[in-house]
């Protein structure tokens, strides 16, 4: 029996097809845009006009912290994933994002620290906000804990 995909499915963000006559080589044929917003309250994703949790389950009601962080995302990026802010809903008309051509480079906008790729970690410590690969997270968090345990005099002395 074929697997039925949920409309809230976080899988298949990138779709690959085998290249004819190349054996094991594949090429990227489609990318489904999404945004990951993560704070100390949790992590939510926006994809295809839907907002979902880590497991792809629909989120209702959408927490206020999500909208606060979503306002920091550029309007172009929000439009690419179909994310409409509450204040934009009255005048919102669903217009699909134009398809990207491999020949046209996409201008990179500054990305807020809370929107990170799934394989990256954004530190939630006050005043840090550093982004790193997930395999460096433990070392980074431990450094914060060590600094918190040190007496204030030892930190000032160096």
Of 145, 110, 139, which Cα lies nearest the Cα of 125? 145
pLDDT per residue, tens digit, the chain (158 aa), is 344 444 455 556 677 788 888 778 888 887 778 888 888 888 888 888 888 887 777 788 888 998 889 999 898 988 888 888 888 776 545 556 666 656 655 565 554 445 667 778 888 777 787 888 888 888 888 888 888 887 755 555 55
C-alpha 70: how far from chain center: 11
CA distances from 35 to 25, 103, 118, 143 (A): 28, 23, 10, 29
Record the pTM: 0.45
């Amino acid at each position: 029996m074929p697997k039925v995909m949920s409309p809230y499915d976080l899988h298949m963000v990138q779709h690959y097809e085998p290249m004819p006559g190349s054996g094991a080589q594949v090429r990227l044929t489609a990318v489904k845009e999404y945004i990951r917003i993560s704070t100390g309250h949790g992590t939510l994703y926006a994809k295809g006009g839907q907002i979902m949790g880590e497991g792809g389950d629909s989120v209702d009601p959408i927490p206020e912290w999500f909208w606060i962080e979503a306002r920091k995302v550029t309007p172009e990026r929000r439009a690419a994933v179909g994310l409409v802010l509450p204040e934009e809903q009255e005048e919102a008309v669903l217009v699909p994002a134009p398809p990207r051509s491999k020949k046209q480079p996409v201008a990179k906008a500054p990305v807020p620290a809370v929107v990170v790729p799934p394989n990256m970690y954004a530190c939630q410590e006050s005043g840090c906000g550093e982004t790193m690969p997930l395999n460096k997270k433990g070392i980074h968090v431990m450094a914060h804990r060590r600094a918190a345990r040190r007496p204030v005099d030892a930190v000032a002395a160096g």
